[in-house]
Amino acid sequence: MFVHKESPRAALADIDRFDAVIDVRSPGEFALDHLPGAQSCPVLDDEERIRVGTTYKQVSPFDAKKIGAALVSKNIARHIEERFSAKPREWRPLVYCWRGGTRSGAMAHILREVGWQPAQLDGGYRAYRREVRAQLEVLPQRLRLRVVCGATGSGKSRLLEALAAAGSQVLHLEAIARHRGSVLGDLPGEPQPSQKMFDSLLWDALRRFDPAQPVFVEAESRKIGRLQLPPALLQRMRAGKCVRIEVPLAERVRFLMAEYRHFVEQPALLGAQLACLLGLYGHQIIDRWAALAGAGAWQELVGELLIRHYDPAYLRAASNNYAHYPNAPVLTVERLDHAGVSAAAAELFRQRRPLQE
């Protein structure tokens, strides 16, 4: 017979000591947000959770517990058979639910009785979320940010990727947000994460940086798509040292046509996005741009969008929001191919120490 033992508790600061992080909340809760790297092993799925909750309110707590116990036991058994059976005795998972109570306690109890060494996250997801919000106000303050600036189509994301490959610390906000950061920035087939999940991914990235080394980040506005940057991070970015990437207009047009191939293949998608600019430019200009798209005059269209809309908007935003932008050193990249971007990354990597704050 199982003898109940209180599972040990672990703080969020200890999560890296565990072999796995197991989220036993429902799939819907997990989809909204979870600890980065956590496995979803619900002890109640979304429908089961509603059923138990409804029974608790409309019938009685006793009846709800009977239903819940049967469902939780069945689900934990399935997870052990399908997910955990090959784990060695030394396996140490961290288990959490909403408050670090019944659901995670049930999973941790069974795992401990098997012979594994689980712990429960103290306070569960609710405490984790509070800590993430608090840490997003603190972690940016310790970073030495090096802000990569450049007009639309300058290959800033490619440059960040090359810097990471070269060994630099990189905070790639648009990759985390799954958005290119402009009115045309939606990634086909890749919805943005929830705000809470974005916060979690940011926290996980920020906590891993070495404060003694610079962190490269792209200049951004307050929002990337529909996601908000934490105020403390945005403030730190705007005070950071800048470098300006300059690329010839023709090369930027070529680069953007390749990057936004989905608009070339489906001009109607572009038309829908251009409609967002109607209030700025009126029907005559928007209709002209839509006509250029319909006619396949992509080079002309992209060039006009850059010169008339994107470049002036970027210059205003960067000059007004980034204190060091007007006097930032310039790095010219003639070609945004692998060789050109790699050479630019190597130059920034070489300069990174003298450019620290």
Residues that are catalytic:
97
Q: Are strands 330-332 and 144-150 parallel, antiparallel or unpaired?
A: unpaired
Q: How far apart are CA 50 and CA 26, in angstroms?
A: 10
The length of the chain, given as a count of residues: 357
Is 169 strand, coil or helix? strand
Q: What is the DSSP annotation of 27-86?
A: HHHHHH---TT-EE--SS-HHHHHHHHHHHHHT-HHHHHHHHHHHHHHHHHHHIIIIITT
Q: How far apart are CA 24 and CA 106, in angstroms?
A: 10
Specify the pairing of strand 223-224 against strand 227-228: antiparallel
- Whether the CB-CB separation of 236 and 145 falls below 8 Å is answered with yes
C-alpha separations of 242 from 88, 156, 253 in Å: 50, 13, 24
Under a CB-based contact definition with an 8 Å cutoff, are residues 275 and 290 in contact? no
Q: Angle at the Cα of 15 (from 13 to 17), degrees rounded to 5?
A: 110
Provide DSSP, 232-245.
HHHHHHHTSEEEEE
**What CA–CA distance (Å, rounded) separates 178 from 19?**
28
Q: Which residues pair with 40 in a beta bridge?
A: 23
Strands 169-171 and 214-218: parallel
308: left (phi over 0), alpha (psi -120 to 50) or beta: alpha
